Amino acid sequence: MKWTYLPPTSFQTAKWAKGTTTELLKFPPESDFLKRDFIFRISTATVEAEESTFSDFSGLTRILMVLEGSITLIHEGRYQKHLNPYDQDTFDGSWSTRSIGKVRDFNVMFNSQDRASLSSRSLVSNQSQDIDITEKRIVLFVHTGKFLVGEQLLETGSVLYIEACEWTSIQLTCIESGTILCSQVEVF
C-alpha cells in the first residue's frame, strides 16, 4: 500500500475557454491530458460563463460533482439534470453535453472499461466516520475543513492518494468542520 499526500500548493491551475481547471491527479503520472492517454484523471474546474459546451471525451466516463454554485447539465437527446452542491451526475464523455450555470466542480474521468465512484462526507469538529473501501485506488480531496486519516493531516485543497489499498474501510476524524470527497477507482 502506498500513500501520497499532495498539499494545495502542489497543483497548477490553467485557463480554458469558459473558466479554469486544476489537475489534482492522473494515472499514469506521465500521461498527457492533451493526448488523452490517461487511464483516469481527477480535477476541479470553474465554469465562469452562464452557458458552456463540454469537450468531447469519447472513450471516457465522467463523474461531475458540484462544489459551489448550481448547474443544469443538458445531455442532448438523453436527459437533463440540475445539480446543487455535492450533487453529481455520471455520463459518457462522448455525449453532446452543455451546461447552464456558473459553478466550481469536481471531476473524475476514467476509461470506460474501468470503474469509479465518488462520494462526499460533511462532518463537524471531533466527529469520526468510516468510509467503506471497495476499490484499490482511493483519492481523498478536502473541499473545506481539516481531517485526519491515521496520522496524516489533510487540509482544505489537499489530496491523499492511496494505491493498492488493503483496507476495507478508512476512518476519517474531523479536526475542523468541513466536507471531504472520496473517489474510488478500479483499473482493469
Instruction: Give mean pLDDT, residues 66-93.
Output: 98
Q: Measure Cα distances from 28 to 25, 148, 185 in Å.
A: 9, 27, 13
Radius of gyration of the chain (CA): 16
Q: What is the pTM of this model?
A: 0.95
Length of the chain (residues): 188
pLDDT in tens, 82-127: 999 999 999 999 999 999 999 999 999 999 889 999 999 999 999 9
pLDDT in tens, 16-40: 888 999 999 999 999 988 888 999 9
CA distance linking residue 138 with residue 64, whole number of Å: 17
User: How do 71-75 and 79-83 pair as beta strands?
Assistant: antiparallel
Domains 12-111 and 115-186 share a fold: yes
pLDDT in tens, 129-148: 999 999 999 999 999 999 99
Arch. (CATH architecture) of 115-186: Sandwich (2.60)
* 3-class SS of residue 8: helix
- Domains of the chain, by residue range, sit at 12-111, 115-186
- Note the CATH number of domain 12-111: 2.60.120.10
Confidence of residue 49 (pLDDT cuts 50, 70, 90): very high
